[in-house]
Amino acid sequence: MLKADRKQTGIREMLRIHYYFLVVVISIIGMLSIAYAAKGSDRSYASTEMLVTRAQDLVDAERDAVKLEALLQNILKVHGWVETLDENKQLIHYTGIPLDRSAPESLSLGEEPENAPYISSEASFLQEGLLYTYIVKIPVDQLEVSIWDQQSAMDRDKQIQRYNVQAVLGFILLSAVVIIVYSRWTARKIIQPLGAIAAGIDHLKTGDYTIRLSLKLEGEFLQIGNTLNDMAEKLEQAGAHKVQMERDRQRMLADIAHDLKTPISTLYGYAKALHEGMVKDNDKQQSYLLSIYTKAKRVDALLDTLFEMTQLDHPDYMLDRQVQDLGECMRTAILEHFSEIEEKEMELEVRIPDTEVCYAFDRKQMSRVFSNLLSNAVRYNPAGTRLRVMLEAQADGLWLEFADNGSGIPEHLRSVIFDPFVRGDQARSNEGGTGLGLAIAYKIVSLHQGSLQLLGTAEERTIFRIILPDF
C-alpha cells in the first residue's frame, strides 16, 4: 500500500530539479571544453614559438654546425644579420645584409631603446687561441615577427583548429550522453508510475479488485496511486457487499415463499373443502372459516410489512421529522403494550425524564420501533422477566435502551439479528412475528442518522440500545 504521509515531490518540481541538474552538468562540460581548447592553443603557441636568437646562442652552438646553421637561418628570416669581430674589435665578416653599417655600437635585447633601428646582442668566444666576438642585430620592426615565422604560424593555426574541433566534438558527445541519460532517467520517473497505474486500472477493468499499488511514487503519482488503491478497496468491499446482498435476497425470497406457502396452502385446502361441500357440520364449517380468516390476516400482515420495508429502502423515501417530546412517544408505546406486560407478570422499570426531551423525529416510524422492541421482549421472554426502558441524554446524543433479564438471544443469531426474516425461535413456524420487525427498526433508526445495537451483560442478557445524534 502507498503511504500518504510520505514526503511528496510534484512532477513539475521533479522536472525542474532534473532540468537544473542537466543545465549544471552541460555547463561544466562546456567549461571543460573551453579549458581544453585554451590549453591546446597555449600548447600550439609554445610548440611553434621561435625564440629570438642571441649572440650567446651562436657561441653555444659553435661546435654544432647544424644547430649553428639553423640559428643563423632564424636570424636571416627576420632580416637580421651577424657581425663577426676579431680580438681588436675590428669587423671581419657579415652574415646577412646589414641595415646600417655605420653604427658599431650594440643595443641590448633586454633594453627598450626609443627610435632605435635595431637591437643587438654580443658574445665572445675562443677559436684556435684567438678571441672573436659575435654581434647579432635584429631590426626593431621585425622583433614581433621574429617570434613566429609564417610556416610556424600555419602549423600553429592548424594545431589550434584541431584542439578547437576536439573540444567541440567532446562537448557535443558528452552533452549527448548526458541528455540521453537525463531523458531516460526522467522518462523512467514518469513511465514506470504510469505503467503501474495503467496495469492497476486494467486489473480493475477485468474485475480484479484485490490489486494494490506499492511502488515508491511521488507527487501527483502518489495521489493517483492512493486514489486507485482506495477505489480498488471500495470496489472490493462493494463486490463483497453485492455478493452478500444477493445471498440475502435469495434467502429473503426463500423465507417469503416459506412464510406465504403454508397459510396459502391452508387457505386453498379449507376453501376447496367448503366449496366442494366436503364439510357438512356447521361448527366445523365455522372453524374452517375462522382458520381461513386467520391465515388471510397473517398473509395480509406479512405483505403490509414487506411493503413497509420496501418503502423504507426506496431512495426517495423521506421521514416526516418534527421537533416533539421523545419521552412522551416512548410512554405512549409502553401504555399500548402495558396489558401484555401485566398478563405475563413482567416487572417494568421505566427511566424516562419527566421533563420534555425534544428531538426532531418521525413519530409514526419511531413508534413502530418502540412497539417492535417491546412486543419482542414480551413475546420471547418467560413470565416474571424484568423489563427496563430508559431515555438519557449523553455526550454523543440521546440513548434509548430496551433491556431485559430474560431468555436472551442465541449467540449465533446476534450478528444477524437485524437481517430480514431472522427470528429468535429456532424453527420457523406460523406463530410469532414475521422476522422483519428488527430489520425495519434498524432501517428506521438509520434513516434518523442513529444506530441500533444489540448488547448484553450478566444481569441483562438482552439490551437494545438506540443512539440518536444531536442536531
Residue 159 lies in a domain: no
**pLDDT tens per residue across span 274-321:** 888 887 788 888 888 888 888 888 788 777 777 777 778 778 888 899
Residue 35 lies in a domain: no
Confidence band, pLDDT 50/70/90 cuts, at residue 114: low
The pTM of this model reads 0.49
Do 392 and 431 sit in the same domain of this protein? yes
Q: Which amino acid is at 371?
A: S
Do 143 and 239 sit in the same domain of this protein? no
Does the pLDDT of residue 106 top 80, yes or no? no
Compare 230 and 374 and report the one with higher pLDDT.
374
Do 332 and 464 sit in the same domain of this protein? yes
Q: Are 251 and 41 in contact (CB under 8 A)?
A: no
Confidence band, pLDDT 50/70/90 cuts, at residue 411: confident
> Residue 232: which domain range?
220-312
Do 124 and 140 sit in the same domain of this protein? yes
* Residue 301: CATH number of its domain: 1.10.287.130
Does the pLDDT of residue 258 top 90, yes or no? no
Residue 5 lies in a domain: no
Which of 123, 147, 171 is the last residue in one of the domains?
147
Residue 212 lies in a domain: no
Do 299 and 406 sit in the same domain of this protein? no
Which of 85, 116, 147 is the last residue in one of the domains?
147
End-to-end Cα separation, the chain, in angstroms: 37
pLDDT at 433: 56
Of 80, 118, 78, the closest CA to residue 97 belongs to 80
Residue 206 lies in a domain: no
**pLDDT tens per residue across span 335-373:** 999 999 999 999 999 999 999 999 999 999 999 999 999
Do 243 and 373 sit in the same domain of this protein? no
The pLDDT of 85-107, averaged and rounded, is 72
Query: Of the given ranges (191-200, 387-396, 426-435), which has the lowest mean pLDDT?
Result: 426-435
Query: Of the given ranges (28-32, 325-329, 364-368, 454-458), which has the lowest mean pLDDT?
Result: 28-32
The pLDDT of 42-55, averaged and rounded, is 63
Residue 119's φ and ψ, nearest 5 degrees, are -125, 155
**pLDDT tens per residue across span 449-465:** 999 999 999 899 999 99
pLDDT at 130: 85
- Tracing cell 426532531 back to the chain, one arrives at 360
Does the pLDDT of residue 266 top 90, yes or no? no
The pLDDT of 146-155, averaged and rounded, is 54
Confidence band, pLDDT 50/70/90 cuts, at residue 44: low
Give me the number of domains the chain comprises.
3
pLDDT at 57: 83
The pLDDT of 167-187, averaged and rounded, is 81
The pLDDT of 411-427, averaged and rounded, is 71
pLDDT at 6: 43
Residue 129 lies in a domain: yes
Write down the mean pLDDT value for the chain: 79
pLDDT at 453: 94
Does the pLDDT of residue 248 top 70, yes or no? no
Do 113 and 130 sit in the same domain of this protein? yes
Which of 312, 345, 380 is the last residue in one of the domains?
312
Does the pLDDT of residue 417 top 50, yes or no? yes
- Tracing cell 600548447 back to the chain, one arrives at 43
Do 357 and 407 sit in the same domain of this protein? yes
The pLDDT of 110-115, averaged and rounded, is 51
Do 136 and 270 sit in the same domain of this protein? no
Do 344 and 301 sit in the same domain of this protein? no
Residue 392 lies in a domain: yes
Q: Are 254 and 420 in contact (CB under 8 A)?
A: no
Q: Report d(CA 194, CA 211) in Å as an integer.
A: 15
Residue 153 lies in a domain: no
Most confident of 79-93, 196-210, 379-393: 379-393
As a whole-number percent, the residues of the chain with pLDDT over 90 amount to: 22
The sign one gets for the Cα dihedral 456, 245, 430, 286 is positive
Do 339 and 460 sit in the same domain of this protein? yes
The pLDDT of 214-225, averaged and rounded, is 65
Do 284 and 323 sit in the same domain of this protein? no
* Residue 337: CATH number of its domain: 3.30.565.10
pLDDT at 313: 76
pLDDT at 402: 96
Confidence band, pLDDT 50/70/90 cuts, at residue 18: confident
Confidence band, pLDDT 50/70/90 cuts, at residue 7: very low
Query: Of the given ranges (224-238, 263-277, 335-349), which has the lowest mean pLDDT?
Result: 224-238
pLDDT at 109: 42
Confidence band, pLDDT 50/70/90 cuts, at residue 46: low
